[in-house]
Structure 1
Amino acid sequence: MSAERIAVCPGSFDPVTLGHEDIIRRSFRFADRVIVAVAYSATQVKSGMFSVEERVEMIRDTFADEPRVQPMAFQGLLVDFAKSQGATIIVRGLRAVSDFEYEFQMALMNRKLWEAMETVFLAPDLEHSYLSSSLVRQIASLGGDVTPFVSPAVLRRLTERFGAR
């Protein structure tokens, strides 16, 4: 019997979008379980729209149909978190070439920190290639309709935060 292949898909997920959902669901092509790791980040200057706990709950609600998705919060180095969870794969979505330089550097550093760590880059579905959490936050905060960009669970939270749409 082969070992379970565990992937970590890290990010801020503030909020989780359909683009994130697409990347996470496609990760099952090479992973048996995906830990969606919401970062408590000391390196981020800005505070989030949603608390880390709220983001974990939104991910849990979004993936209620998928028991192989495990949302978790973490602090510290991603490789340390991954190692503690038995994960050896990091999944990152790349929307544009501009994402690649930073993500490539991080992938090499993570592998240097722990040689068993591999990073897999996934291109988004064309339908979601322009989508980002920051755009969703901005549209929602200005009263726009974000229905095409988020799951019903996330839409419910955004509606609670900003009022009826």
Structure 2
Amino acid sequence: MKIAVYPGSFDPVTNGHLDIIKRSAKLFDKVIVAVLHNQSKNPLFDVKERLDLLKQVTEELPNVEVDCFSGLLVDYVNQKGIHSIVKGLRAVSDFEYEFQMALMNRKLNADVETVFMMTSSEYSYLSSSLVKEVFKFKGCIKGLVPDEVLAAMIKKYRE
């Protein structure tokens, strides 16, 4: 069985993320969307909320599983017996960073391959940080995030 992990912070999950998830699910028998728990960041949504949102927006994809991890990604893939990492690329700047990470992961485990997927052109400018900033200043993010995420963001900002 070909299993891949698609790691990220997903704070929040965007339609760009969802595009990569859906396309990865066509290439692999199973895709694990793994939320990075990074204690040094101050996220909008906590890990449990991000896991719940990802489960909601991927529920129609039977071969997609949602999980979380902390620490090194290569330790997570070793623990799970995974040999493929999926990374979405929006621009050359993403490639430079992700290329370094892929080489480091390969240095730590030569059996791990990173598969780069170009984002669909309609999402090439989209990032979670940008979505949060636009929303914070009352800009429209409809169509940039799944409806479930938009509802959760509205609720979160009302609190």
TM range (shorter): over 0.9
Q: Paired residue for 2:110? A: 115
- Residues 140, 162 of structure 1: 8 Å contact kept: no
Pairing partner for 2:27 from 22, 25, 30: 30
Which contiguous aligned blocks of 4+ residues in structure 1 show a shift greater than 6 angstroms? none
Q: Deviations over 1:17-63 (max 9, x none)?
A: 00000011111232111111111125xx4310110111111100111
Distance 2:108 2:46 in 1: 29
| Deviation for aligned residue 1:159 | 1.3
The alignment's TM-score, normalised by the length of structure 1, stands at 0.91
TM-score of the superposed pair, with normalisation by structure 2: 0.95
1:75 aligns with 2:83: no
Q: How big is the alpha-carbon RMSD for the aligned residues of Structure 1 and Structure 2?
A: 1.2
**Structure 2 SS opposite 1:16:** coil
Counterpart AA for 2:84: I
Out of 80, 90, 94, the position equivalent to 1:99 is 94
The count of corresponding residues between Structure 1 and Structure 2 is 158
Give the alignment of 1:14-29 within 5 angstroms.
14-29=11-26
Helix, strand or coil for the counterpart of 2:69?
Answer: strand
**Unmatched 5+ stretches in structure 2:** none
Alpha-carbon distance in structure 2 between the residues aligned to 1:24 and 1:53: 19
> 8 Å contact 2:14–2:128 — kept in the other structure?
yes
The alpha-carbon deviation at position 162 of structure 1 amounts to: 2.2
Question: What is the aligned partner in structure 2 of residue 148 from structure 1?
Answer: 143
Q: Aligned equivalents of 2:61 and 2:148: distance in 1?
A: 14
Return the alpha-carbon distance in structure 2 between the equivalents of residues 152 and 65 of structure 1: 15
Displacement of 1:150: 0.7
